[in-house]
Structure 1
Amino acid sequence: MATTTAGTGATSDAVLSFTDLTVDFGTEFGTVHAVKGISLEVRPGEVLALVGESGSGKSVTSMTALGLLPKNARVSGRIQVGENVVGDLDAKGLRRMRGNDVAMVFQEPMTALNPVLTIGDQLREGLELHGIAYGAAATARAAELLGMVGIPEPERRLKQYPHELSGGQRQRVVIAIALSCDPKVIIADEPTTALDVTVQAEILDLLRSLKDKLSTGILLITHNMGVVADMADRVAVMLKGEIVEQGLASEVLVAPQHEYTKKLLGSVPRLGAGPGQFGTAVEHDVAHSEANVPALEVKNLVIEYQRVGKDPFRAVDDVSFRVGQGEMVGLVGESGSGKSTIAKCALGLIPAASGSFEIFGQDFGALRKAELKALRKRIGVVFQDPAASLNPRLPIGDCVAEPMVVHGVGDKASRRERVLELLDAVELPRSALNRYPHELSGGQRQRVSIARALTLDPELLVADEPTSALDVSVQASVLKMFTALQERYKFACVFVSHDLAVIDLLAHQVVVLQNGRIVEKGLRTDVLHDPQQEYTRRLLAAAPVPDPTMQRERREARHALLAELGDEVSELRLGREHEPLEPSANPENPSPIRGGMSGFTP
């Protein structure tokens, strides 16, 4: 039985512990109390999920374990990683601890990876800095790590740059880097936020397999309650810097005691429940008269990307579907299936190689510049990342009014009135008019993006993953607002998402894409509730639910389905053990790798 260290409340076998942790930030507006005296611990082979909304203090807590907080942070309490007390370490000690004892998997792999270095360079860097492997041995070790995390053709991938990999592959690379030094504990900060459901399921299988086989402790920071149900042994719920509830996942998720936990779980859209969840509009029929000109009609669409010295890459191949006026069509599929490419083509950002792309009966590719501008006035767009799509130098009022300025609609007074009307519609305070994007939360910025998209009363709205990075409660309010706006303005919508529960909540029709081709399409009730195609069944099987018992059953059913279809279950990718090699003292003639992780082959 684990013993308790006197005065700390941490058990002696914990690989990561926080005791009475308090973090304050000194700002020009006063002191911000980010974390308020919390105590947590992660044991070997255990997953502790830290959940809560943005701003609750989850990421700040995790950053203290690596000593990565900015200089204006004041930290008190005790943070221990393995045998190291973080507050007692100097800069050299912190560098030695990072990687060897604790590693981080960041939320956004594209910002965690260096865009000007190859994948191989970035994997070798950690191995060489920590004295694990050098030269050709480091390259071999890097390829082994990529194979271990399920990346095909690892030797070829070592020579590629981050932008050449899909989002799921980049996240696997980040996990491989985190694993390279065989850490005692991994801190995973929203590791599956931007991933589609099948890749997410594989990443979770991978992390689960690693912690079981290597006894690695994992601190999992997430707002996805399905991920918590799939991964966590214990759950800690944070609100405004405090732990409001903590316990076994089977207890917290099934019978929450705190009102905030109940609110979080009540905000999760449930796959199979369809429209009408948490106050969204109930399903209604959309008229499909052949006499009505569809808002968007795609016929035999082909989109290709030109490559220097190579044949063009075909991203979309012979795709046909239509979006009726007032109808919402969901595009679903894995990363690289062509969803966002089709959405960009609908906006005129990418040309079609062949086929037709008609918007309100007009061929997009055949229009002149003036005609295109007039047509674009009828189209709104909501991008995935509002922080990147809003001009940081413009106040919110100007961001929302910008489409009216571009198209010469109204005067200054009428534009301001329209902006205020839209701020009311998306449930933002009118005081946000003069604030800048960085002063708003992620959910508020996404509301601004939706308001801007609706400025010109578009007849067609293209929404590319508009809720993927939002907290569950914020997502619920945005989805409720989105359906209310669609009811009010009657716009047609192409809704791109990897969250099948969101599509089940919003869409009238569903188009399932794989490798640029349509594998299944039809009414939401048919495609999501009674799928006919193997690929659709895989997608649905991979979608997690926020109930540990039910999710375990779904995971086992998914593994059985994959076995039935002849696929390798990703939990088995780690292979067999063999004797680790001892490191060489001579960097000029090193052994291939240091011990620890070497016992596993893809």
Structure 2
Amino acid sequence: MSPILRLRDTSVSYLRDGELVPAVRGVNLSLDAGETLGLAGESGCGKTTLAMSVLHLLPRSARLDGEVLLDGHDVRTLSWGELRAARWSSASVVFQGAMHALNPVRSIGAQIAEPMRLHEGKQSESRLRERIAELLEQVELPVRRVDAHPHELSGGQRQRVMIAMALACGPRLLIADEPTTALDVVVQSQILELLGRLVSERDIALMMISHDLSVLSSSCSELAVMYQGELVEQGPTDRVMADPGHEHSRALAAAFPTVGDSRFRFAPAGTRPSEEASSAEPGSALLAARGVSVNFGSGDGIHAVREVNLEVADNEILALVGQSGSGKTTLARTLLGLQRPSSGRVLFDGAELATSTRGLRRYRGQVQLVLQDPTGALNPRHTVYEAVAEGLRIHGATSDERDRVTEALEAAELRPAESFFARFPHELSGGQRQRVVIAGALVLRPSVLVADEPVASLDATVRGEILALLLRLRVERGLSTLVITHDLGLAWTIADRVAVMYQGHIVEEGEVEQVLLNPAHDYTRTLLAAVPSLREQPATER
């Protein structure tokens, strides 16, 4: 029996300025029913382009060469009608970023029904409702949410809707493009378990795309690694992870720390910490919450933060961890003076946070925010220089603007700074954009950074570089940092202390080794159990 998917010397090039630029070069692989293939690699390596070629979902500027056989038919030779029929029914895609992929003004039931209406002809409304209910049950969503809209669902629920849509027409191949990016570890674990169960129950093939080897190694039986458009390594996951043969495979594996492994403690991407970084000691409390609560609505409204006591010490990195909806971001907004507490106090350097406009502006010069999504944080029409100088102009500190912007860019390791002045965000890589955001926070020479998921959207090796940068800023500038994250590996790598937040409460707090190696609270243990790990044989078995 022929495989569901077979690629033979598949190549993709894009026409740019009259020339063909190769994106994928000579890929060969196959995928059978019941198999799960993980396609790993960093942004720009060609993995998404390769996956989209399976259903010819490529822009007009793309040229597809070689063979792409789906159920034995080469998609390059299919007519428009045949290709349209193959989409959803032979193969379907779970796209990255469910909030952007779903229609915000249509109910989830209507969106799940759409591919069935388009591809399976007319059927009774009662039968359609039955099938929608079956799909919702399969992806473990309550049937009562059928009339809900995307904004009324959590990130994990929206991802389940995307999976239900992909399964609607009974495809034999499911392509999942970064299906767990930006999801917290518990929801990520649930989505991966769901995909594995669907492969087993429906006897379908799954191609999962990710830059995170820990996700792929814990959920896929086969692993293929792409680098600069080529497939550089392929084989059973256990073998590839136990003894990676290519340098890039080893780099990807080393970029994701293992909680409890001392090699990754204060050492992004597997490098050893400097003595200076290791010996830095936290000082007295610089930023503190005292009995802070934040409620939304009146009466029995939403209690987002409940009587939180938290301190960020001078010269300290504190990780605030928890699932989406636990109250982390609301607490951070309150510490930044962007949200008034319903009760309790916020203190900076021993003094209560001002409430006047002038006082808050002065305070925000000392406590700066680094946003999660650098693309969304930067104005696409502003140059790098304008983006970094904006804070100085708001605070009226423009007398030495050029020198301060240069200093901030250099501190964020964008060197030489002048070469970045005139560039726009779309001309930068993801890591460079994140460094510009960090430079924009540094330009006011703050005492505290509040970093909200600072590496969630970045590739493996770039993630390590940004974490190393945060460590160096602590050493060189004595900069305290509150890192908000659902990534316990990040907390293990760079934090001095960790605070665990659950349903608005801080349920556990202490030194990183104490909390992550000997957790006292059940919720902390749940978070740790959900963290995917690289499947690797012990050294004695190699």
- Partner of residue 145, structure 1: 135
Q: What are the within-5 Å matches in structure 2 for residues 403-418 of structure 1?
A: 403-411=391-399, 414-418=400-404
Matched, 1:440 2:428: yes
C-alpha distance in structure 2 between counterparts of 1:428 and 1:396, whole Å: 11
Distance 1:75 1:429, change over 3 A: farther
Distance 1:136 1:453, change over 3 A: farther
C-alpha distance in structure 1 between counterparts of 2:347 and 2:169, whole Å: 53
Q: What's the offset of the Cα at 1:283?
A: 3.8
Q: Name which of 517, 524, 530 aligns with 1:529.
A: 517
* 2:217/2:223 contact within 8 Å kept: no
C-alpha distance in structure 2 between counterparts of 1:154 and 1:285, whole Å: 53
Q: 3-state SS of the aligned residue for 2:329?
A: helix
Query: TM-score, normalised to structure 1's length?
Result: 0.84
Matched, 1:506 2:497: no
Q: Name which of 319, 332, 339 aligns with 1:343.
A: 332
Q: What's the offset of the Cα at 1:501?
A: 0.9
* 2:214/2:532 contact within 8 Å kept: yes
Q: Name which of 487, 490, 514 aligns with 2:478.
A: 490
Q: 3-state SS of the aligned residue for 2:232?
A: strand
Q: What's the offset of the Cα at 1:43?
A: 1.2
Q: What's the offset of the Cα at 1:148?
A: 2.0
Distance 1:285 1:150, change over 3 A: farther
Letter of the 2:52 counterpart: M
* 2:293/2:343 contact within 8 Å kept: yes
- Partner of residue 248, structure 1: 236
- Partner of residue 187, structure 1: 175
Query: TM-score, normalised to structure 2's length?
Result: 0.93
C-alpha distance in structure 2 between counterparts of 1:346 and 1:91, whole Å: 55
- Partner of residue 115, structure 1: 104
C-alpha distance in structure 1 between counterparts of 2:68 and 2:124, whole Å: 32
* 1:280/1:483 contact within 8 Å kept: no
Q: 3-state SS of the aligned residue for 1:21?
A: strand
Q: 3-state SS of the aligned residue for 2:104?
A: coil
Distance 1:146 1:350, change over 3 A: farther
Letter of the 2:345 counterpart: S
Letter of the 2:506 counterpart: I
- Partner of residue 46, structure 1: 35
Q: What's the offset of the Cα at 1:171?
A: 1.2
Per-residue CA shift, 1:197-221, capped at 9, x if unaligned? 1111111111111112211111111
The answer to which of 19-28 and 385-394 deviates more is 19-28
C-alpha distance in structure 1 between counterparts of 2:124 and 2:426, whole Å: 43
Q: Name which of 224, 230, 240 aligns with 1:236.
A: 224
Q: What's the offset of the Cα at 1:296?
A: 1.7
Q: What are the within-5 Å matches in structure 2 for residues 230-309 of structure 1?
A: 230-273=218-261, 274-276=265-267, 277-281=270-274, 282-284=277-279, 286-288=281-283, 292=284, 294-306=285-297
* 2:407/2:443 contact within 8 Å kept: no
- Partner of residue 459, structure 2: 471
Q: What's the offset of the Cα at 1:349?
A: 2.8
* 1:401/1:452 contact within 8 Å kept: yes
Q: What's the offset of the Cα at 1:526?
A: 1.0
Distance 1:287 1:220, change over 3 A: closer
Structure 1 unaligned spans of 5+: 1-11, 551-602
Per-residue CA shift, 1:55-100, capped at 9, x if unaligned? 0000111111122111111111111222432112233222221111
Q: What are the within-5 Å matches in structure 2 for residues 22-41 of structure 1?
A: 22-28=11-17, 30-41=19-30
Structure 2 unaligned spans of 5+: none
C-alpha distance in structure 2 between counterparts of 1:438 and 1:456, whole Å: 25
Q: What's the offset of the Cα at 1:437?
A: 0.5
* 2:3/2:30 contact within 8 Å kept: yes
Q: What are the within-5 Å matches in structure 2 for residues 392-431 of structure 1?
A: 392-411=380-399, 414-430=400-416, 431=419
Letter of the 2:57 counterpart: L
Distance 1:15 1:30, change over 3 A: same
- Partner of residue 56, structure 1: 45
Distance 1:359 1:117, change over 3 A: farther
Root-mean-square deviation (CA), in Å? 1.9
C-alpha distance in structure 1 between counterparts of 2:257 and 2:519, whole Å: 20
Distance 1:145 1:362, change over 3 A: farther
Q: What's the offset of the Cα at 1:189?
A: 0.7
* 1:198/1:542 contact within 8 Å kept: yes
Distance 1:287 1:75, change over 3 A: closer
